[in-house]
Structure formats: C-alpha cells, structure tokens
Structure 1
Amino acid sequence: MDVYWATCHRVHSGDKSWELIDDGTDSLSSHSSTPRSGSSKRSMSKTEYSYNDYYFLTDPEQYIYSHFPVDEKWQLLARTVSIEEAKQLALLKRNFFSLGLDIVSHARYLVECDSGEVQLSFTKSDNSRINFKYELYIATETNADIVDTLNSSLDRYVFLENPTKEEIVNVKIRFPSIGKFKLKILAKEADEHSYYYTCTYIIDCLKAMENCQPLPTNERGEWGPGLDTEALGLNPVTHSRGEVEAEDGKAEVRFQMNQPVEFEHRLIRGENEELHNRVLHRIEDKEAVFNVRVPQEGEYALNLYAREKGSNKDFPNVCNYLLKCEEEPDDKTPFPAVSSLGPTGAFQEMGLENISDMPALMLAPATGEITLQFRVSKPAIFIPELLLQQDDKQFDFSEYMMWDILNEVATFYANIPRQGLYSLAIRAKSSHEQDTYVPIFNAVIDAIVPKKQCFPFPQQSVDWPSKCHVNEPMSGILPARELTSFSIEYPDAFEVVVTSGNGSKTLARAPNDAWNGDILTGNEDSVVTVAVRYHQSDDLRYILTYKVAGKDYIIEERRRQLERYRDAVQRAERLKESGKLPFMFDWSRLESVDSGTEMEAFASEIFSRAWHGLPNNKFTGGRNSELQGLPDCSYLVGGRPDIDQCLPVLWRVNDFY
C-alpha cells in the first residue's frame, strides 16, 4: 500500500524537454505553441488531493511497475525483479490496470526502432467499452535541423485502431526522421468525459522510414469502427480493423444495420484534399455498402458520417478507414455523380417494388444486356436515362434504353454500347397529365465488355402507353429501302399504323393481340413512325420513331462496334491474367471476337440478297442494263469477299434492286 498516493497525486505541466507534436486532432502542427528548448517557460508541478483506493492492497503484479521495495521479499512476486529490470519496465499508470489493459508487444519503457516504424499492442478485457487517444512528443534535444528539413509537420504519423469486436489495441508509428520520441496512451470508459494517462514509452528512432508520408487527416483519432459506430447499431461485416486494402484501386466496406441510418462520406488524400465522386453508398438487404475507387496508388482516409434516419442533428464522424493502394489502378475513372443508389423516397410512394436480382451497383453481364424490373401497383410513366462516365465528361446513351409494362411489371431494357462506368437514372410520374417527373431509382453499371452488336432502341414518345410491347424490330436504326417486318403487342389498340418514306400501312391484328406487317423503309436520313388509334374516331398518336440509315453507315457502325468489342475483350483478358477481373464476371458468355470474319459474312449476306433478287442472277441485259460495266462479282456469292473492293459494287447493286 501507499497511503500518500492514495490521498494525492502530482500534476506536471510545461516540461520543456519535450515538445508535443501530435495529439490525434487537426489543430496541432509543428508550429505548436508548446516551447522548444531554450524557452523561458519553466517546468511546473502541483499537488492535487483526492482519495484513490487503488493504492490500498494493490496487486503485486501491477505494483512493481511503480514501486520497488527495499526488501525484495515485499515484491510478493513469484519471481523477484532486480532494480535494473524494474527501471526498464514500461511506465504503466494505475488507469492502465483499472481499465483492464495488458501489454502484448513491449514490456520495456525504452523502445529502439531501427526500421523507421514500430507497432505497440495491448489487450483489453472482453466486452470493455473504452475509447483511446494518444500524444506524441519529440525530445527538444533532437537536432532542430532534422525537424526543419521535413516538408510537413510532424503530426499524423500515428495510427491507432481499437476494434470493438476484438480484444486488441494497436498503435503504429512511422518516423520521418531519427530522434527520440515519447508516446503517451490515454483512455477512458465510454460514458466518462475525461481521458486519463495509462502508459508512456520512450522510442529511440535510429533510422527514418524511407519515403515516409504523413497519414491522411483523421478527425476521430482512432481508425476503424469504434464505440460511436456501435452506438448507431452499425456492425462491421467486411472490415473490423482500421486498414482497408484497395486492390487495383477498388474497395468495398459493409456494415450490418440494426436500425435505419443515413450517411455522408468523404475521401481524403493528404492533409485535407477531398476527392469527389470516388465513393458510392447504398442500403442493400439491411446492410450499408460503401464502394471506393481511388485515382492512384497511395493512402486515403475514408471518413464516414452517420445519424439516425430522420434526425435533424449534424452528421457526426463515426468511423474512418485508412485505404491503402499499393499499385497504380488499371481504371482511374471516378464514379458518375450520383447522390445515392437504389430506390429514392418516391419509389415506394408510387407503389413500386424492385423485383430484379441486379443490385444498384451492378456489374454488366458479358452479353452487354441488362434487364431491370419493378412491380407496379399504380399507374406510372417512366423516363430512363443512361450516361457514360469518361474521365470528367458524361455522354448520353439514353437511346440505348427502352421500357414497357406487362402484367403489372415494368421492365427496363438497356444495351451497353461501350466499355466503362454508366449511371442509370429512372424518373416517373403517375399520369400523362402531370408535368413533373420525380427521381425514383439510381444505379451505377460497371461494363467490362459492351454488347457486341449494339444499336439504339426505337425512340419512345412521351405518350408511350402501358401494355404495349415491341417484338420487332428492336433496333432503332433501319436500313434504307429494305422490307422490314414489324410486330407490336398492344391489345388496347383499335388500329396500328406504320409510316415510312414509301407511305403508310396498317398492321394486321393477330389472335394473340400482336399487330404484324412488312414495311418498305424510305431513303437515308428519313424516319419510320408507329402510331396508334384507340377508337375509330380517334386521331393517330405517335408512339415510336425509327431512324433510317444507308447500309454503308450500318456496315461502318458495325465495324466500329466490333473493334470496340475486341478491344474490351482484350482488356478483360489482361484483367483475368492479372487476377483483377471480378469473380462475378461470367467469361463463358463472351462471344467470338473475330471481327474480320463477321464483317465478311455480313457483306456476303447483303450481296447475296441483292444478287438473288436480280432476274437470271446476271448483271447484264434487260432492266439491269444500268449495271453494265461493273466487275463480275458472282463468285462472291456464299464466299468471303474483300470488303474494301466489294463495297462499291455491293452498294450499287443493292440500291438498284
């Protein structure tokens, strides 16, 4: 027992032999007001009186860290400790033991560091609720020139993690310079206001860490999930500690949610550089999911802010992760600027239910075709939007989306024309009479490979009706002067009329309520429209528009698509070889990439169709006299023509036909 320490203790301040350089907050820098050597401020101390029964019948295993008896028998230890050993023991305060802490890594007061980095580890008792912080000092006797040569302040070199689901506490320190440092660990029970000193170490850094950089700014001091995370009912699913590996620049962090929570987030590089459009979050199956894409190798702070849903309080910082990317990312494209993923608040208000397997952050199938479905219980009209994100620019590919409602299920079809990141946004309103569409659903699509042959859908009008479904043609671009089959399912229609540059034709109604017919398209740059009449006396309402293009344009566009497809597949092969291809990507569904063979086959198809349509399969005589002087290409039928030589002949033959 120590009756003196049980009634009072000494409080020291202004120790000029040490300078505080980091206390885990943003307010401290190397220009701290704490004096360096030579300052006129003197070291002072005072006695404060308060009762503390820790020093009455103290555990001998703990007592030896602060008291050494003259008579060694009063150590009351199984093995006595020499005075030399006692002087080397770590300086552990009474609060260290009263909080149930224990040493794991370093039992001695002086720690020598010859690698530029050191980690101190402690255990805490099971189910303990303790917060930690630290103070790092540098000895003022350290050569001032060494400190002054650093490009940044000496703070933000300490990494402290306190996992709530584990009994370990880790404190990692990296040193940008040699010198002598003092580390103090402070702790408190979760419901207490003040922190107490628990232990102190002197670290003699003999070698600085190579290319040592300060950690990104952390507002909390602790890294990883802590008691404040747990208090909101958030349990870490993927990362219970403070470090997250961002392999190939990508990372995903998940929390199980025990109550509705709303979030904000920031991705910080360096001292306080915020990176925008690098983090996406969504709520999925009662889990909060955060996806991160960093722009280059290095370290980043993922700062998460959360509050109970519906609260009007500020968002407190409840969890921070240190993201580490050790190699240059293959894809540096930021996420599209999407405020939140998944259904919005208006989604359920409109009586919608998501029945798709596709998550709000989806990997596009290898086919490049995506289908999204909502169950509909109320009338609804939709406008889908598809934007491709490339660097800091967006390109509108909304014409590659189409929708319909059949059997109370709204289906959205999307064809992916190029590799890259897309934002998919769906807006809706309940009737044609309403003026405003409201956002109901947001998604981001990661397309590794586009659709091999991908043309826009036909353009739907604002009067696009429910229960109407297009069977064919699904391509919104039709070849000029070609007979094209139309089939549209629409049981509520009285009449369906298709109009092209060659006139109008009413489609025939089949027993299955499909309207069918063949239409001869017009010239290049014209349109084909589909209109519907609901009653005999009604005016026609246009619901679909197709563009008409020359076959040379279609051939060239297919060529470009095949080249883009081949480049994307080659990139996917490189990702596969390096182990960076997402495991969900179904490689078996990729199509052949022999673009030359496909183009030759397509050219042969058009040529053969034109050839066999001519009388006697000849280019001379009769009504085909206009084609005299062209080379004999009959040997190309069913063969593999050279496209560049054959195209001029092919176009003239086909156009004449």
Structure 2
Amino acid sequence: MGCCKSSIVHPVKISNKQEAEDGNSTIDNTTIVQPNTYSNNDTIIAQSNTYSDDDIIISKFLDVKDRINIQVADSQAFNISFIRQRQQALNNNSYRKTIESWKPNSLQELVQMIKSLSNGKSRIDQHWIIFYWVACNIEYDTVALFTKNYANQSAEGVFRTKKGVCAGYGNIYKYLCDQLQMPCERVSGYSKGYGFDDREGAPTEPDHAWNAVEIDGHWYLVESTWGAGKLNDNKAFERELDSYYFLPRPNEMIYHHLPKDEKWQLLERPIQMDEYMQMPKLRPLYFELNLELISPYNRAYVDLVSGKPYALVLIRAPSDVQLMADLKLNDKKIEGGHRVIFDRKKQIYRCYFAPASIGKHKITIFGKRNDSESSTYSSAIQLIMNIKTMPANPISYPRTWDKFFDLDLKIISPQNTHFIKLNNGCTHARILVRAPENVQLLGRLNDDKEQKVKSGNQVYWDRQKDIWQCYFAPDRDGLFEAFIMAKKKSDSGSYTSAVSFKIEAKQIPIPNISYPQTWQSFYDLGLKVIAPKDRANAVWNNGGSYAEIFMEAPDDVQLSCAIKYNDVKIKNGSLAQFNNEKKIWQLLFAPERTGQHELNVFGKRTSDTESSSTVVVKFNLDVTKIRRPMKFPTIYTQFETTKCQIYTPLEGILKKGSVVPIHCVIPNALEVSLKVDSEWITNEGYTNPVLQRQLNVGSKEITIYVKYQEGLSYTGLVKYTVE
C-alpha cells in the first residue's frame, strides 16, 4: 500500500524576457545531439517552413463536435454555496495559525483540540481543520516506500512517528473524522504517482489510498497524502501544502486516481482500467488555467504526424495564459526537441515534438498566467511519445522565446535543426532571418560557461536580399550558443532574446576570426574591410608609430576616422586618405601611449550635404610599445571629399629650419598653393594630380590650399605645425 505522488508542481524557472546582455541558457552536457546538423554554406538560402501542411490536420481536430466530457454523478455537489464555503475555509488564516501552534502529546489530545476549534463550524471547515493538521504534521515515509518495510500505519502509529505512507495518511484522516462523527471512508485504488511512468501495463493490485467524505448529503474526495507535499528529484519528501486535493472535483481526480471500487469515482459514467491507463496526466494547474487538450483527445500517447518527423499537440488556452514545454528521454532533456507556437488565427497552441532516437519519451506542457508575479512555469500536462522507429529525416528546433513569434520572425537558414557544426577549418556559422521592416536584430555568442565571446558576432540587414545576415565566430573549439535578440524600432526598451542555436566548434583555425563592431550604415553604404581581414583588432607592430586599416567604398562615399583612449579623442591622432591607385581608403591611427585604444571609422555619401558622417565600424587596438609617438597634420573636409592622399610627410609637426619633401595626391585641382611663413607659393610642383617638391620649413605653420574652379576662393586642405 506504500505509495506517493510524484512532483505535482514541477517548477521550470525561465524568464520570459531576457535582456540583450543576459540572453543566456545553460548547456546540458547530457543533451542528445540531433542527427540533422548544418554545415555553414554562404551561398544557400532555404525557404522558410510555415507549418502550413499541418493546417488541414488541425482543422479536422477543431471540427470534432462529439467529444465526450467526464461528468460528476452528483450535479449539486459543487454548487455555488459549496465552492464559496470551501474557499472561505482555505482563506481562514486564523485556522492556520491556531493549528500551527498546537503541540498535542497524544492522539486523544489532538482530537480534543480539533473538536474545540471545530465547535459550531461547518462540516467543510471541520474537514479543512483535519486536512490542514495532517498536511502540516505528517511527513511521507520515503524509507518505507523504497524499502517496502512499512511500519505501523494505524492512526496511533502515524501520530506517534509523524510519518506514514498513503495508507497511514488515509487511516489517520478517517480516525479523526470518526471522532467527530463525520462519515468518512478510506478508498483503495490506483494512482499515477511516483513510479507510474516506469510501469509496463496496468497494475494488478491497488497501490494507493485516499479518502471519501460525506458533507451535507454529498460525497467528496480528500487526498491528504498528495496535499502534504511531493517527492523531489532526489527522492526526498518536500513538504508543500497543496489545497487542490482538499475536496477536488471527481471528474478531475480521475485523471490520476482510479478507485478499485468504481462507486468512489463519483462519476456519471465510471471509467474502466484500460481507459484510465490511456488517459493523459492532467495536473491541477490544467484545470486551474482552464486548458483544453484538443489533440490527443483524452489520450496519454502521442503519435508522429503521418509522413512527418514530429508529433503535434494542440491545446486551447485563455488569452491570459502562456504555455511552454519540454521533451525528455530517460529523464534527460532533449535540446531542440520541441517548439511551442501560439496560432493567433486559430487561437490555439501548436506544440511540436521531434524525437532524437527511439524510446519512450515524456512530454511535459507547462503553464502560467501572464499577470503572475512569478516567472515560474508549472507542470500542467504530461504525455508519452513512444518512438519505435525513427523517421527518415529527423529534425530539431532552435530555442525560441515569445518575442520570436510576437515579432513574426522566420528562420530562413539553417532549416529543421537547432545544432550547427563547424569543423574542417570552418570559421563561422551563418544564420539567415527574415523580419518585418519595423524590427531590428542584435546578436550575442556565449561559450559553454555562459560567458560572452568578445567580437564573436556580426548581425546586419542585407537590403538587397531583404534578409538579416547573422554571423557567429567561436574563438576556440567547444560548445557555444548563438543568440539572436530583437525589438521593434519604435520600442525604446532593450533587445530581448528571440531565438538561439547551439554551435559545436572543432578544429577552429588559429588565429580565429573575430568581428569589429559595425553599424547598419556600414552595410547600407556598401563598405568592405580589406585589412585587417576577419579581425576585430587592428594590427600593431611593436616599435611602430601608427596602425592602418584599409577599406573599400563606392565612389560616392567618403570616410573619416578618429582614435580614442579612455573614451577621449586623441587630437591629430588619425588620418583618413584615399589611395587613388588601389582605389581603397587608408585609415591611419597614431596612439600617444601604450594600452587599449578604440578606432572609429565614419562614413557618409558625398551628395549628403545636410548631415554629418556617422560611425560605421569600430576596431580595437592594443598598443604594446611605441617607437616614436607622432601627430598627423590637420586635415580639412575638402581633403576627404576630394579623396586626397599624403605620401610624405605624414608627421604633422615639422622641425624649424629643416628641408622636407612634400608628396601628395590632390586630384583635379585647378590651382594648389602653399602658405609658408605667411608667404604664398602658387602651383610650384603641382601637376594634376600630384604635388611634389622640396620645402624649407620656416618658423610658422605650413598650409596647403586648393582651388577647383575659377572665381572660387582657395580652400584649406592640409596644415602642418612647426616646432
């Protein structure tokens, strides 16, 4: 007779909204890896799966009109008066405080305490007083359960040890009712509690006990064992009052309690053992949330959809309820094994489950109300998916959050997998996402310790293909998780997690690739980094004076740049110039000291005269040693607009009295003049597009001026200072 319930409330603590900087999920090393994997291929764009094939199947289930409802035999038992009195008893804190203060030394003393508190109270209140004392004071005897060595389960024995199995709970409850002359029976039967999932076939002997009580001419059920607590994953008893099991509805209890004597089912139509074994496990939360299991209807077993590698569970839920799920095999969660979608058109939840191997899988559906202060989802439905033959093309699902469906995102590639393999020198994973025009995406790559991989992702909108390109580059071999976060452009709040993929990296090349931080304008302007290629850090040569970045840009785009140290811009520390021979931009950065620096590149179209340049890409620079710090000459806007270049001198501070060669490229100028010691030198040494000559440095600054049309004044181009 020793028996116990399993964890009726099975917490799954997951935040609905994870901020962009906290979009983490734990990697379970026992996860079964899905057979379908994705090897990165930058040329493939797959079509999105909309699950439209399932619409016909779903419509058939929704059109069924002859569903059989399990009804309570006594239609008046749960009238409004009963429901109100029961709730009032549960809410009576005075009862609870009084009962919790009791310290009876004998069973007889306990009876007197109950009689005293129950005097003049309703039968419902009297039963609640007994139920509450039993639930708070009797501990489930797990030693007896697992050793099968059941101690004295009489009311006296249970009171003395404050322990018992279900028989002991039932016996002491009946004894206390008898002392108050309240009709009570102990019911023997079968339960879907601890160990039920491991059972093969129907039980032949009763394995559980509870009570039936008569109140005002109506019979009700009482389950004080399950009302007292549960077994945790370590098979230890955890006391946790569950008032659901105080006078529950028989048509709900039948999903996990089948009396041996069918009269104690208290149902209009008794349920037989074979039907009971086929019924799903519907937990108290299922009824509290007013859920409706549409398919499978009143069955615990779920089959794969015909011709598909997945099973489909359909659930109708109120608008203020959210659902999630998991899929387990041998008590190990299968990552990528499920996807839950709310079908707004049909107002139902579509729950997809994809097996990874043969075996008896356990499906659990969790739920909670939207307005709940807790982020905890609790178990509502448990189903079984028994896979004897694997489908020809197994699939898996990436992890998704509500934001994925709320913003109508679609994964274009990779399809039908949550797991991306990188091997044989492959450096990065590529994920393609389609999103509405008013949605922005952001990326993050975490390692197996849930730490962010610095410069490990690059996410941008490809205007030509109308698709989001999401790149993720692991920095070493191992397991990683790639998060894609999203928000509406009009939303001032943070990005929150929308979807994630697992990445297995093997034989990552050294050095690994990394991504500089880019802005959408980088891609809108059609820019391309030539060097450093696939690196977030610019190259610094020990003993050098400056670092270089080379970029390609369309003819109508001009670039500029800046260098920062400790977020402070270094004056004359950068130079953006255009190499007219190679048709690339050369961006130079001269640090003043060792340490970490930030290199920013700005861009704009030359035709855009109204707005200033915006940052398009940012690199890091780690300066370890400087041979000789330097300053670049002051550059005026016309220098970048007309795509000029300085060969020499790059040093912006010239020595007084020295002779320096000046060699610059100044395309298409009408006149080029130099101002040296307040004297003008016009067009000497300039032949379009090259200015080349020797110059005697005086005591004042030297400025190069340029004129592009007759009638226009000279415009400053470059200025050197003199020391």
- Give me the TM-score of the superposition, normalised by structure 1: 0.43
Higher relative contact order (CA 8 A, sep 6+): 2
- Give me the TM-score of the superposition, normalised by structure 2: 0.40
